Structure 1
Amino acid sequence: MASSLRALLVEDTAVQRMVVSAMLRNQFHCEMTLAKNGKEAVDMFLEGNTFDIVFCDRDMPIMTGPEAVVKIRAMGATDVKIVGLSDDDNAMEAFISAGADDFVPKPVRPETLGPMIQEVINKKLEQSATLA
């Protein structure tokens, strides 16, 4: 059994948090951590938490998704895959220029997330094979 991925979902809307985290947990067996805004996410990285993949909403109070991505990358968290989420088509550019690896339009669908999660799992497996 492959080790489960540590996923961080940064989303200010409770319903979205519930739906997306349930999908990640149930369908992709991710170990879930939740944050309600970009500042909470940045604080988690500052506290030394590590994640394999981060899904980040764009428009949130206190700190937006792209602002959080810039800060997380500036801390040297370059190995983590960061995926922007938004129902705004113009958000993709904001996330990619902030340093995100990918973008998913809302509503989030399992068939969109599957390949991204598989990519992170494959990368982890390659790294552990290299270390072995």
Structure 2
Amino acid sequence: MQWSATKALVVEDIKVDCVILLRMLRKLNCETTVAQNGKEAVDLFLEGNTFDIVFFDKDMPLMTGPEAVTKIRSMGATEVKMVGVSADFGGMEAFMRAGADMFVPKPMKLETLDSMLQEIIGKKNMSCQTKCSS
């Protein structure tokens, strides 16, 4: 059975926040990609890139996190787990309305991140067992 790293996309325009999240993801053995705004994230999906999980900041230039979630979902990306991340109190409602799977307030804790990734790894293993055994 081929083991593949969890592929994470971080959509964040604030350098410090981006570096912190990337460090945590790498500590948890994720393969990471960065987009500086929602438009870059949408473009990555349009180019055919796939990710297991995407972390969106809320307020970014060109396209906000919730706008990007809506666009990516409308392109048929239903398997990817989309997580809104914001210090903004109204962030949760905006992300959930847009179609995000969950919302996490900033600053994100390593334990929170780890449990999200464990859930994704579990699902990947389940689908591989189903595909590999049939």
Give the TM-score normalised by the residue count of structure 1.
0.96
Distance 1:118 1:29 in 2: 11
SS of 1:22's equivalent in the other structure is helix
Compute the displacement of 1:89 (Å). 2.1
Q: Report which stretch shifted further, 30-39 or 111-120.
A: 111-120
4+ residue runs of structure 1 moved beyond 4 angstroms?
Answer: none
Hey, what does 2:115 align to over in structure 1?
A: 115
Compute the displacement of 1:111 (Å). 1.2
Hey, what does 1:99 align to over in structure 2?
A: 99
Q: Structure 2: 5+ residue runs without aligned partners?
A: none
Compute the displacement of 1:90 (Å). 1.4
SS of 1:12's equivalent in the other structure is coil
SS of 1:89's equivalent in the other structure is coil
Distance 1:117 1:96 in 2: 19
Distance 1:114 1:30 in 2: 11
Residues 72-96 of structure 1 show CA distances to partners (whole Å, capped at 9, x for unaligned) of 0000000000000000121001101
SS of 1:79's equivalent in the other structure is coil
Compute the displacement of 1:3 (Å). 2.3
Hey, what does 1:12 align to over in structure 2?
A: 13
- Counterpart AA for 1:49: N
- Counterpart AA for 2:21: V
Structure showing greater radius of gyration is: 2
Q: Percent identity?
A: 60
- Counterpart AA for 2:76: G
Q: Structure 1: 5+ residue runs without aligned partners?
A: none
Residues 13-57 of structure 1 show CA distances to partners (whole Å, capped at 9, x for unaligned) of 01111110111011x100000000000000000000000000010
